[in-house]
């Protein structure tokens, strides 16, 4: 008798924030049953394929068994002629997904969001394939709102997120938390210090990790460069500048001295060793993307957050940051909001002052320890990736 292959299609992309949590779930599925076939549907353009294929599970094996690239168009909330062109890309993505889903015949489709996930979810609905969609942010994005129309289950990171959905969908909502790759739960601070080459550092200064995502964040980078002297006086600064953001544009003789003395450690991007680097650091200063927040919380790290806000955003990072701040796990830089209408120089000075005053509070080790414990408590004891994998595995039968 021919053995029936159990297959799950995962979809999502555009950024690592839509890919890495999905890979965490893929890892957990493989832990349950190595024979489960996992195929990833991502964007045919961009870095989705590279990110998916580079990931390895605990055994050092690929997390997924294949990648399917489909056309992807962005769904903008504002008027743009590009919307018209992208409608054709979305339609092409739908028919491409329809073709591949009919060919692959998966038992379920799991979406981690991003606009590339909408066509596969719609195609799965047409074919009668159960859809499970996950929202990592405090409030649902447009892709999740669309995918919820096709979903058998809508998976949420926060209990309060239920209030953003209509009454008719309440029975489909399941709070799972936000999936984090298993390696973060097993992160080794000693390995992180070895990677940074500070394991023998005699300085008693705390390690401050500065993140802006894989592409960096110009506002955060500029703030660090502006305050580098003060920061290096009080911290060893580990700075992920982001690919394409050359830290040497701020170079000076003093800068080189700080770098040489290991007071300032810049990297364009850290991937494989990032969990261990987070474990090694005492404080994390970053944006407020959902995945970074949960990864830091898993490692019980106190956070200083500068959420992306203003025009061009839906305020999701502001909401994410407010949640963790409300749990006593983070402090938030608010100067960017209070300085509206001020000239650019004054706004930057205000933000610098807020950075220093907040980090000064975090120099106290007991204060940091309490925040770190609150961060770990804020995300609960269950491992979200395991919980989601249980739901998906249960849907395809044993």
* pLDDT for 245: 54
Global model pTM greater than 0.75:
yes
- Looking at the structure, tell me whether residues 287 and 367 fall in a common domain: yes
CB 297 within 8 Å of CB 317? no
By the 8 A CB rule, do 199 and 1 touch?
A: no
Q: Which tens digit of pLDDT belongs to each residue from 128-167? A: 999 999 999 999 998 999 999 999 999 999 999 999 999 9
Total count of domains within the chain: 2
Same domain for 215 and 321, yes or no, is: yes
Q: List beta partners, residue 286.
A: 305
Same domain, 43 and 120: yes
**In a shared domain, residues 116 and 240:** no
Under DSSP, is residue 328 helix (H, G, I), strand (E, B) or coil? coil
Residues linked to residue 56 through DSSP beta bridges, in sequence order: 62
Chain segment 266-318, per-residue pLDDT in tens:
888 888 899 999 999 999 999 999 999 999 999 999 999 999 887 667 789 99
CATH number at residue 85: 3.40.50.2000
128 and 193 co-located in one domain: no
Q: Three-state SS for 123?
A: helix
With contact defined as beta carbons under 8 Å apart, do 272 and 292 qualify? no
Same domain (yes/no): 169, 198: no
Write down how long the chain is.
398
Say whether both 267 and 170 belong to one domain: no
DSSP conformation letters of 79-99: --HHHHHHHHHHHHHHHHHHH
Q: Examine the domain organization and report whether 157 and 14 are in the same domain.
A: yes
- Torsion sign across C-alpha atoms 9, 10, 11, 15: negative
Please report the pLDDT score of residue 308 as a whole number.
86
Q: Which of 296, 285, 263 is nearest to 356 (CA)?
A: 285
One domain, residues 295 and 350: yes
Q: Which of 262, 252, 225 is nearest to 241 (CA)?
A: 225
Same domain flag for 139 and 230 = no
**In angstroms, how far apart are the furthest CA atoms of the chain?**
74
Distance CA 269, CA 252 (A): 22
Residue 50 shares a structural domain with residue 109: yes
Q: Is 194 exposed, middle or buried (0-12, 13-18, 19+ CB in 10 A)?
A: middle
CB 263, CB 237: distance < 8 Å: yes
Question: Within this chain, do residues 202 and 298 fall inside the same structural domain, yes or no?
Answer: yes
Q: Is residue 300 part of a domain?
A: yes
Chain center to CA of 146: 21
Question: Which DSSP helix (H) or strand (E) runs through 154?
Answer: strand 153-156
On whether the CB atoms of residues 52 and 23 are closer than 8 A, the answer is yes
The string of DSSP codes covering 200-256 is T----PPEEEE---TT--HHHHHHHHHTHHHHHHH-EEEEE--TT--GGGG--HHHH
> Is residue 374 a part of any domain in this protein?
yes
Q: What pLDDT is attached to residue 296?
A: 97
Q: Which two tokens stand for residue 128?
A: 């009668």
Q: Residue 1 domain-assigned?
A: no
How far, in Å, CA of 163 to CA of 177, rounded?
Answer: 16
Which ranges of the chain have pLDDT less than 50? Answer: 1, 336-340, 342
Residue 147 falls within a domain, yes or no?
yes
In a domain, 2, yes or no: no
Range of the domain at 197: 183-378
Q: Is residue 356 part of a domain?
A: yes
């Amino acid at each position: 008798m021919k053995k029936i292959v159990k297959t799950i299609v995962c979809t999502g992309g555009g950024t690592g924030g839509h890919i890495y949590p999905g890979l965490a779930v893929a890892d957990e599925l493989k832990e349950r049953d190595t024979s489960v076939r996992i195929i990833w549907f991502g964007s045919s353009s961009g870095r989705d394929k590279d990110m998916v294929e580079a990931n390895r599970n605990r055994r050092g094996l690929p997390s997924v068994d294949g990648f399917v690239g489909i056309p992807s168009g962005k769904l903008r909330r504002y008027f743009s002629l590009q919307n018209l062109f992208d409608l054709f890309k979305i339609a092409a993505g739908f028919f491409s997904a329809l073709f591949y889903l009919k060919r692959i015949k998966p038992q379920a489709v799991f979406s981690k969001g991003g606009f590339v996930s909408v066509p596969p979810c719609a195609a799965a609905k047409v074919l009668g394939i159960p859809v499970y969609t996950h929202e990592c942010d405090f409030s649902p994005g447009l892709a999740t709102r669309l995918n919820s129309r096709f979903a058998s289950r809508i998976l949420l990171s926060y209990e309060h997120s239920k209030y953003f959905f209509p009454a008719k969908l309440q029975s489909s909502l399941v709070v799972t938390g936000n999936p984090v790759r298993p390696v973060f739960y097993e992160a080794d601070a000693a390995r992180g210090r070895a990677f940074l080459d500070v394991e023998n550092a005699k300085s008693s200064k705390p390690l401050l990790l500065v993140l802006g995502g894989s592409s960096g964040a110009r506002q955060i980078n500029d703030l660090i460069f502006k305050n580098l002297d003060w920061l290096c006086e009080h911290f060893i600064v580990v700075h992920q500048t982001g690919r394409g953001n050359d830290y040497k544009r701020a170079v000076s003789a003093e800068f080189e001295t700080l770098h040489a003395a290991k007071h300032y450690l810049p990297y364009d991007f850290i991937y494989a060793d990032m969990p261990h680097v987070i474990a090694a650091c005492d404080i994390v200063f970053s944006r407020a993307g959902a995945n970074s927040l949960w990864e830091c919380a898993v490692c019980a790290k106190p956070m200083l957050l500068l959420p992306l806000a203003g025009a061009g955003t839906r305020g999701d990072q502001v909401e994410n940051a407010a949640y963790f701040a409300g749990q006593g796990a983070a402090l938030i830089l608010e100067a960017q909001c209070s300085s509206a209408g001020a000239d650019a120089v004054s706004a930057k000075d205000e933000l610098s002052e807020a950075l220093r005053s907040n980090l000064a509070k975090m120099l106290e080790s007991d204060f940091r320890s309490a925040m770190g414990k609150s961060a770990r408590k804020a995300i609960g004891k269950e491992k979200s990736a395991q919980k989601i994998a249980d739901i998906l595995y249960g849907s395809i039968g044993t």
